[in-house]
Structure 1
Amino acid sequence: MDISPSILIVDDHQSIRDPLSAYLSKFDFYVEAVEDGKAMRQRLRERGFSLIVLDIMLPGENGLSLCRYVSEHHGIPVILLTAVTEQADRVAGLEIGADDYIVKPFDPRELVARIRSVLRRSATQMDVDADDGSGTSFHAYLFNGWCFYVDTRELRDPSGKIVGISTAEFHLLRALVENANRVLSREQLLDLTQKHGAISFDRSIDSQISRLRKKLEVDTRQPRMIKTVRGDGYMLTGSIKKTKAA
């Protein structure tokens, strides 16, 4: 049975894919490589991967769009490869669910270190999600008719329909439900949701709140669940019930 972490490289340049695949294989990783988003989607339908190394500048569907798709439908950690040095583009990647990024050209040894770091964080988060410290598997938060399953990262609306959320939206919603009816500043939300070593941009919380409201609220102009407390931050209001699996 294959127990090595499995890495999928998505890059349209064969001169990068092939040497990088060979290099990562030396570090006890099972590695596959594809050239574009279409091939990535097909491979994800066929098998699971531990982590995806994803180039932003791809022909057809770009890496940011693909990163959002992975976050919402597969929950696999993503490291973005980018030649773009603009801060806004790096922030955009982190906001839509990327776990880390590395700027081209890069030392492949640094990528190995980042892969290992992301895999360690992912494994730790899975352990935390599965156990609340009491030895009982955690199940869900119930609020305003919605059901938020922390262990499976699944959000269901009052009709029972699954609503897709990105990794960033998952961490933000978890911070809000765990601190329901309490005002959280942007700085507090960053502390509760950002990945270790990530660059902090407090205004990025505003855009994440906006996207989450579009999924939860009937009228985003007059939100009833995620309230803005002017000058202070945000607050999830209402009755929150925490349940556990039997």
Structure 2
Amino acid sequence: MGAKILIVDDQPAIVSVIENYLKSEDYRTVIAFDGIAARKLIATESPDLIILDWMLPEMNGLELCKEIRHESSIPIIMLTAKAEETDRVLGLEYGADDYIVKPFGLRELVARIKTVLRRVSPGQDASLIITHRDLKIDMKAHRIWKRNVEVILTPTEFKILCLLASHPGVPYSRLQLLNQAMGEEYLYYERSVDTHIFNLRKKIEDTISEPSYIQTVFGIGYRMGDEK
């Protein structure tokens, strides 16, 4: 069987359509109709990915997403009727890995699921340990520590950090980082890289206002600082 997907939406008709289609694609499914129930299922079912509606009773999707990110790197795809760019950026800032606007196509949803899950699965050359200053990155286990304290990253954040840390001092454009972390189909989300970088800095920098790990290269993009 395929990956286990937790579907969190308060509209039973939408849940039923998504569930039936995912099952036809060989995914396993778990259902929750509100944020509180979803939180319990995350603990008991250990889903591989969460499809999370923004507007939920009891606890909205953004609050749940933020709570999950404090303790887990489970991939999250936000599903919402909010179509403004500011809403999409807000979802990413709270830790979502992707963002799909209603109404949506089921084939598109499955394509996004596959893309996000690929970011979690280690590649053939992922048996590497990268050590950079106070950071230790285990590319096979998808784990990172700073000064021996584990830092929880989303799959997208992890991919971006691995690319930067693998080549300290080398500048990468937003498009290069986006292509590496999310794939070519996401290149029209170029500015979302800034949100992922901001989230990364909050997690690994000692001072966000004066970042020493992930540095901005004006007019180009970002690089990993190569200072020892």
1:157 matches 2:152:
no
Q: Compared with structure 1, are the counterparts of its residues 53 and 155 closer, same or farther at alpha carbon in structure 2 (3 Å cutoff)?
A: same
The answer to whether residue 119 in structure 2 is matched with residue 119 in structure 1 is: no
Identity, % of aligned positions: 34
CA distance in 2 between partners of 1:82 and 1:173 (Å): 28
Q: Determine if contact 1:55/1:80 at 8 Å carries over to the other structure.
A: yes
Change (3 A) 1:234 1:115: same
Q: What CA distance in whole angstroms lies between the structure 2 residues aligned with 1:47 and 1:167?
A: 20
- Name the counterpart of 1:104: 102
Rate the CA distance shift 1:26–1:152 in 2: closer, same or farther, 3 A.
same
TM-score, with length taken from structure 2:
0.81
Any unmatched runs of 5+ in structure 1? 241-246
The Cα shift of 1:17 comes to 3.0
Report what 1:181 is aligned to: 169
Residue ranges of structure 2 left out of the alignment (5+ in a row): none
Instruction: Confirm or deny: 8 A CA contact 1:99 1:195 kept in the other structure.
Output: no
Q: Distance in 2 between matches of 1:235 and 1:39?
A: 41
- Write the mapping of 1:71-220 to structure 2, written as runs, cut at 5 A: 73-94=71-92, 97-106=95-104, 110-112=105-107, 114-115=109-110, 118-119=113-114, 122-123=117-118, 126-128=121-123, 131-132=124-125, 138-158=127-147, 160-220=148-208
Q: TM (normalized to structure 1)? A: 0.76
Larger radius of gyration: 1
CA distance in 1, matches of 2:190, 2:119: 25
Q: Distance in 1 between the 2:22 and 2:196 partners?
A: 34
| Cα shift readout 1:79-132 (whole Å, capped 9, x = no counterpart) | 3221112133234435655444433234xxx3255325523662475141xx31
Number of aligned residues: 228
1:116-172 Cα deviation digits (max 9, x unpaired) = 5523662475141xx31xxxx6132111122112222212111x1111222332122
